[in-house]
Structure 1
Amino acid sequence: MALVNKIRERSGIAITIIAIALILFIVGGDLLGSRGLFGGKTQKVGEIAGNSILAQDFQKKLDQARVEYEAQSGQSANDQVLAQLREKVWNDLLIDYAYQKEFDALGLTLSDEEKTDMFFGKYIDPAVRQSFTDPQTGIFDKNRVLQQRKQIMAMPAGSIQQLGWQAFVRDIQRQHLMSRYVNLIRMSSYVTTAEAKKDYEGQTAKVDAKYLYVPFYSIADSTIKVTDSELKDYLNAHKDEYKGANTRSLDYVAFGVAPSKADSLALKNTLTQLAKDLAKSPNDSSFARMNSDVPHPLYWSLRDMDDQLKEAVAGFFPGQIAGPFRTDNTYTIYKYTGTKRDSLYTVKASHILIRPTNESDSAKASARVRAENILKELKGGADFAAMAAQNGSDGTAQRGGDLGYFQNNGSMVKPFETAVFGFNGTGLLPSVVETDFGYHIIKVTEAKNNLQYRIIAVSKQLGPSQATRDEVYRKADAFAAANKSLEDMEAAAKKDKSLVLLKANRIPEGSTNLNMMQNAQPVVRWAFDDKTDVGDVSQVFEVNDAYIVAALTGKTSEDEVKVDDFRDELTAKVRNERKAEEIMKKLGGLAGAGTLESIAQKYGAGALVESANDLTLTSGLLTSAGADPTALGKAFGMKPGQKSKPFKGEGGVFIMETLKKTPAPAIADYAQYKNTALQMELQRSGYFVNEAIRDNAKVKDYRAKFF
């Protein structure tokens, strides 16, 4: 955020920039087109299956997605939503260019009947069910889907409501195709009897072993010097294990912006003055609209009030100014001017729904008997919430049957509404209520009430003032100006203990986060800019309620894997290789020393002799070495009484001696193990299919340079 003083200082530059911008706007595409000033260089946000995704095309799809989102949600898309929409647009392009080829090759389509059924038929899509389920009752009614679709289709063609509905339909149909494709792949998975037998034996066959173990940590790391040449040789020999990725690493300082004491005092004074002005305002509702940071209704029912206001309103008198009441960082003052009676009543209730298992008369009779028995228990003093959680068969069960507030406006089915609003006071309804959904045991928790309270509310949110933001920005800007290198930043942080130098390592391309800090795209975009070199220090970035100054400390590339990309991991690997050579050389000279105990004694410090019984291949654990598949394999691969030569394991060097082997008992049927293995295969197949398709499409994602 630029400061007013800086704008004034640079006003000449600003005027020039504005003038150039106006010229470009007037001339338009003649300058910026394919033959314009920039030589027609096309900017791409990515490539999928040989298709270039142009920045302008991606932006058009993103704009459309935003319109569709706002049509569906009724809310403006904030930064977080925009980030999600960018991801959705990208995934849609993946489906269109990569997955659709697979769908077409297999002839996968959706019939007209299926498209209708998932919205209005017998097998409703979960997303449709969730979108059209009453949040108060947890009840889904397909008639609401039909009514809404009818209303939307009656609107002018191309309206935002129609765009939103079309996007909703398209996304659900696309998801069904994806699910069908993945399920088709899953159906092709199988496990042979030989594989099932191998799994069975791995879980059941057992071995008792004794072993000598010299862990790598018994040799100090400082005694093994690893050279860059060794690291490079190891990397070249294990290329398949170290895949490249486009990442960046940063060190950064975050200057947090929080309300100051002056801001709190200013808000207090503002609220005090607002309370005085509200009290004497001749048009208090207009005053509230002009001065409140949060919109509020003019008339409130009890369901509109939070607990603080609901408790206080009982003692209000006309003309009273109350507050401020605090909710998080929002402070609200209220002016109460009286009540009126509404044509609709509001009530709060809970219920326990008992559904019949089917539509038969006997099932309905059984459900009614069960509901009546529960009602008897409740009349005897049983806890309603506990009984609802135990017996309820709809979404309200998990919250003790609570339906919240509702009105007699048809939001509930007729028999339910008639019973509740025909009841006076609070407590259990005396009889079970039958509806099309089943049998309801109902408890009115707040009596019906049609009072509407005229309460004028003015809310103000406590936040950092512009002066506070400017002061923090000045500190961040001064820090960036004074520290032009990572070394400078480190020295400044050591000198000033209020500064904390944070690290964000291997940030993936396209990330929106900086550690736990969200909406950090500007910082990530700077880090991935081709002009940003390792060691560069950034300008000041505003991220949420903080100003960030960052230094680029490292780069990795998917096309060029370097030692520095995996230096710590490679160093540990090479160091352990060297330790293994040293240990095995020493143990090799002691191989004829007799028992494992005598070998360990002659080896000296670091050598352990341990025993382990009933080891299995799939879950065997050694006492000090833990799960070491190489050691387990050796134990199972030798005959009882055999002793191995020294060999390298995961965490050290072993000499393994097999004492006893218990083979898996023969069984006639491996179905149980075959089913278990198949389930694991099915769980993995969807992921592997997705990875294979994306690899085959040779996806290149450059979005981090744009968004």
Structure 2
Amino acid sequence: MAILENIRKRTTVLILIIGLALFAFVISGVFTSGDLGGGKVGSAVGEINGEEISRDAFTQQLETATRNAPPASSTLQNVNRVWDRIVKNTILEQQFEDLGVGIEQDQIFDFIRTTGYAQNPEFQNENGVFDPNSFRQTVADWKVNNPLQYDGWLQTEQAIIQMAKEQTYYNLVKAGIGATLKEGELDYKLANDKIDIKYVRIPYSSIPDSALTVTKAEIAAYINDHQEEFKQESTRDIQFVYFEEKPSLDDENTVKDEISKLIGDTVEYSEERDVMDTIAGLRNAKDITAFLDRKSDVKFDTIYKARKNLPASFADSLMTLNTGEIFGPYKDGDFYKVSKMVDRKPNGSVKASHILITYEGAQRANPEIKRTKEEAEARAKELFRDAKKGDTPFVELARDNSDGPSAPNGGDLGYFQEGTMVPKFNDFAFGNTVGTIGMVETDFGFHVIKIDDKEDIVQIATLARELEPSDETINTLFTDATKFEMESIANEESFSDLAKENDYVVRPVNRVKAMDENLPGLGAQRAIVQWAFNEDTEVGEIKRFNVNNGYAIVQLTGTYKEGLMSVEDASASVLPKIRKDRKATQIIGANTGKSMEDLAKDNNVTVSNASALTVKSPTIPGAGAEPVVVGTAYAMEQDQTSDLIKGESGVFKITVTKRTPAPKLENYSTYASSLKSSSAGKVNTAVYDALKEKSEIEDNRATFY
């Protein structure tokens, strides 16, 4: 009691002490973790040229984008779409501000005239023309009476303003793009001046790679001299073993046994009537629909099917069944099945082609067709006679003369079952043999019909049970995954060796980026990517993840920082380039001053010829694309011989044997205009890409999503 009394007297002091302790506990993480949110630095999703993209603003746009996105879109896909849009809008808006690009209200209405709003009768005058005043009045009404629609309009208005600004900005750039007649003439000549050459090519492959030694210092020097080619993003390498929840062989056999027992009749005790009842199986079931409703995972499909619509691996066996016969059990995908032939319709599906000649007033006739019914009948009879003669293939007659939608396909209607077509067409198709050509009249017009093929169709009842892992299988899988995880963490043996000992497949995934979502073999696994990029995750670390239908035991095997690639990482792409340069130098050094014939003889190659080469298509037969070689030839005079040329596939020496200038044109304005249009068409993408390349962009998306 004395202790309790002392506590009561010191309540204020005690509360203060507890408060200070809690405060110390909370702030201690600030100084030990180095951030304020478990690795999430600040509240900005990113920064573009010094302008922060706050998380709140980003989240608002993300919520809107998610509502409007297709149902199958993942969160990360929506995040990426919003980020790309914000980056583009921010970069361009900074340009608009610097240049003073703005949009007036009349420009907004000019833009609206090109949208769906202008087609809405609510915004049109009595002449059916878009009326800005009507639009203003409607928007004002939304503001008072329909706030939700008004908010939607405000977002649309901002998008319109942005698009209008972009259009103005890009048009300013396009105004400075042009092409002179001389440029048009040059473009014409580069495509049409023909050059014939005689050449010798000493391929780089004549010197084996093993004859050259390339040091790490040389690779490093090459990387340093070509830094733009060897920039890399921050990436990770991982490897994993996937433990998939799938039926075991025992599970499959259990389902197979269960479904086999349902084929024949079974005897069961009826407690209600105190007798043994015989329960009809699939073979003797009177009501097949009710039987499959009770016993099968797939309902009875009453549709008659042709061979091509049956499971490919079992179609032949199923089609040979007589009515009432059983096939199975058989495994088809994720099911065990037993099938029973219920009915067969010989020649129950017909393949036919037709020529439709319609007339004004016929059902679904094209309004442009003005022929009378009598004229249509006469034309159809004429085509019927031509088809019967057989001088012109039916396909051509249909393609050139039919008014029906199947005309482009030569009148082919494909296969159809009885009752699909209108009665007269149906009766002709099913009442005549293959190859018969006839003519019938329907409400659509006059049809010249050819029967191309017939095939049997069958009605099959299938008892199916889906293959699923049993509880025992699932528990065993969990045990195996956990055991492998623990052993791989505790064991000094390598992850791959341990997996090999247990007959597990190790799957590597290299160069995973921070904003990647899908991993080959696992699908969408954002949690694994985030773990791999967590600053606390070290190379060699192993972790188990619950994934779709199982578990993945994942190991981080490599990290790559943003910047220049290391010598080891770049060597695969650098080595061929250094070797090519060294081989070219070696070949040129050993063969300088030689004639073409001596060059060919000394290097065990032949003198070859190539004709009609152009700069626009610089491909040499037998050598491939050689722009430097063809470009050199273009600058040479006829009968002139070049020095040794370093090409793409080898070292060349060429002689221009013939030059054929393109015919002169009176005017090259067409080619100049084409150049201008081509350049203008690239402006939007090229300008934005250039601005983005020069922008300083800090991307923190991976921290939050």
Name the TM-score class by shorter chain. 0.5 to 0.7
Kept after mapping to 1: 8 A contact 2:424/2:442: no
- Give how far 1:430 is off: 6.3
2:647 to 642, 649, 664: 649
Q: CA deviation at 1:223?
A: 2.1
Matches within 5 A, 1:141-152: none
1: distance between equivalents of 2:396 and 2:83? 46
- In structure 1, how many angstroms separate the alpha carbons of the residues matched to 2:492 and 2:413? 59
User: Which is worse superposed, 632-641 or 537-546?
Assistant: 537-546
Q: Which moved more, 1:536-545 or 1:660-669?
A: 536-545
Aligned to 1:488: 494
> In the aligned structure 2, how far is the partner of 1:463 from the partner of 1:167?
52
Amino acid in the other structure paired with 1:89: V
Tell me the SS of whatever aligns to 2:652.
Answer: strand
In structure 1, what is the equivalent of residue 543 of structure 2? 539
CA shift at 1:262, angstroms?
Answer: 2.5
- Counterpart position of 2:228: 240
Given candidates 614, 617, 620, the residue that maps to 1:619 is 617
Correspondences of 1:577-588 after superposition (within 5 Å) = 577-588=581-592
Q: Which residue of 2 aligns with 1:42?
A: 42
- 1:669 matched to which residue of 2? 667
Contact 1:211–1:656 (CA under 8 A) maintained in structure 2: yes
Q: Tell me the CA shift for residue 617 of structure 1.
A: 1.6
Asked if the contact 2:645/2:652 (under 8 Å) is kept, the reply is yes
Alpha-carbon distance between aligned partners in 1 of 2:328 and 2:169, rounded to the nearest angstrom = 58
C-alpha deviation, 1:661, in angstroms: 2.7
Q: Which runs of 5+ in 1 are unaligned?
A: 1-23, 71-76, 123-152, 335-348, 408-416, 446-455
Question: Which residue of structure 1 lines up, in the alignment, with residue 116 of structure 2?
Answer: 115
Indicate which of 207, 215, 235 corresponds to 2:203: 215
2:193 maps to which residue?
205
Output the CA distance in 2 between the equivalents of 1:356 and 1:100.
Answer: 59
**Deviation for aligned residue 1:374:** 6.7
The answer to whether the 8 Å contact 1:628/1:650 transfers is: yes
Change (3 A) 1:174 1:205: same
Letter in 2 for 1:571: L
Which of 576, 586, 591 aligns to 1:572? It is: 576
- 1:32-111 matched pairs, under 5 angstroms: 41-42=41-42, 44-48=44-48, 50-54=50-54, 58=58, 61-69=61-69, 77=71, 81-94=74-87, 96-98=89-91, 105=102, 110-111=111-112
Q: Which amino acid is 1:489 matched to?
A: F
Q: Which position in structure 1 is the counterpart of 2:597?
A: 597
C-alpha displacement of 1:575 = 2.1
Deviation track 1:551-587 (CA, whole Å, cap 9, x = no partner) reads 4444444444443442211122122222222222222
Aligned counterpart, 2:509: 504
**Structure 2 Cα separation of the partners of residues 39 and 513 of structure 1:** 23
- In the TM superposition, residue 323 of structure 1 has moved relative to its aligned partner by 11
Contact 1:115 1:173 (C-alpha < 8 Å) held by counterparts: no
Distance 1:207 1:261, change over 3 A: same
Rounded to whole Å, the distance in 1 between the matches of 2:233 and 2:366 is 64
* Counterpart-to-counterpart distance in 2, 1:617 and 1:597: 26
Q: Using the alignment, how far apart are the partners of 1:182 and 1:327 within structure 2?
A: 60
Normalising to structure 2: TM-score of the pair?
Answer: 0.61
1:363 aligns with 2:351: no
Compared CA separation, residues 225 and 355, structure 1 to 2 (3 A): farther
State whether structure 2 residue 515 is matched by structure 1 residue 522. Answer: no
* Contact 1:65–1:85, Cα closer than 8 Å, also in 2: yes
Question: Relative to structure 1, is the Cα distance of residues 500 and 101 closer, same or farther in structure 2, using a 3 angstrom cutoff?
Answer: same
Corresponding residue number in structure 2 for 1:146: none
Q: 1:253 to 1:332 in 2, by over 3 A?
A: closer
Shift of 1:489: 3.2
2:658 aligned with 1:660:
yes
Aligned to 2:133: none
Q: 1:338 is matched with which residue? A: none
Residue type matched to 1:85 in 2? N
Q: How does 1:689-704 map to 2 (within 5 A)?
A: 689-692=687-690, 694-695=692-693, 698-704=696-702
What amino acid sits opposite 2:218 in the alignment? E
Q: CA deviation at 1:121?
A: 11
The CA deviation string for residues 583-611 of structure 1, in whole angstroms up to 9 with x for no partner, is 222223xx1x4x2222444xx44665433
Asked if the contact 2:588/2:644 (under 8 Å) is kept, the reply is yes
Cα shift at 1:373: 5.5
Once the two structures are superposed, residues 133-178 of structure 1 have per-residue CA deviations (whole angstroms, 9 ceiling, x without a partner) of xxxxxxxxxxxxxxxxxxxx9xx9899xx99999998999799879
**CA 1:626 to 1:384, structure 2 compared with 1: closer, same or farther past 3 Å?**
closer
2:518 maps to which of 498, 501, 513: 513
Contact 1:252 1:503 in 2 (8 A): yes
Sort the Cα spacing of 1:486 and 1:658 in 2 relative to 1 into closer, same or farther, 3 A. farther
1:584–1:653 contact (8 Å) kept in structure 2: yes
List per-residue Cα deviations over 1:484-508 (Å, max 9, x = no partner): 5998134346656x44444433334
Following superposition, the deviation at residue 644 of structure 1 comes to 3.1
Residues 378 and 384 in structure 1, CA contact (< 8 A), matched pair in contact too: no
Corresponding letter in the other structure for 1:540: R
How far, CA to CA, are the matches of 1:83 and 1:355 in structure 2? 54
Q: Which structure 2 residues correspond to residues 300-319 of structure 1 after superposition, within 5 A?
A: none
The separation in 1 between residues aligned to 2:150 and 2:422, in whole angstroms, is 39
Once the two structures are TM-superposed, the CA of residue 701 in structure 1 deviates from its matched residue by 4.0
Native 8 Å contact 1:352 1:393 kept in 2: yes
Question: Retained in 2: the 8 A contact 1:610–1:623?
Answer: no
Amino acid corresponding to residue 212 of structure 2 in structure 1: I
Residue 548 of structure 1 aligns with an amino acid whose one-letter code is A
Cα deviation, 1:481-535, whole Å, max 9, x if unaligned, reads 4445998134346656x444444333344223334653243333333333344x4
Moved more, 228-237 or 545-554: 545-554
Alpha carbons 2:380, 2:448 under 8 Å: kept: no
Specify the SS of the correspondent of 2:552.
Answer: strand
Contact 1:524–1:704 at 8 Å: present in 2 too? no
Distance 1:384-1:307 versus aligned 2 partners, 3 A rule? farther
Aligned counterparts of 2:221 and 2:424: Cα–Cα separation in 1: 84
- Displacement of 1:631: 1.6
Unaligned runs of 5+ in 2: 1-21, 124-141, 269-278, 282-287, 312-317, 340-351, 431-438, 452-460
Change in 2 beyond 3 A, CA 1:180/1:640: same
- CA distance in 1: counterparts of 2:121 and 2:638, whole angstroms: 68
Give the alignment of 1:268-283 within 5 angstroms: 268=256
Task: Classify 1:219/1:667 alpha carbon distance in 2 versus 1 (closer, same or farther; 3 Å).
Answer: same
CA shift for structure 1 position 290: 11
Distance 2:505 2:494 in 1: 13
Q: Pick from 194, 212, 215: which aligns with 2:182?
A: 194
* Residues 251 and 468, structure 2, Cα contact 8 Å, conserved in 1: yes
Which TM-score applies when normalising by structure 1? 0.61
Q: Work out the CA distance in 1 between the residues paired with 2:416 and 2:77.
A: 31
Q: Judge which range, 179-188 or 252-261, deviates more.
A: 179-188
Distance (whole Å) between structure 1 residues aligned to residue 476 and residue 541 of structure 2: 21
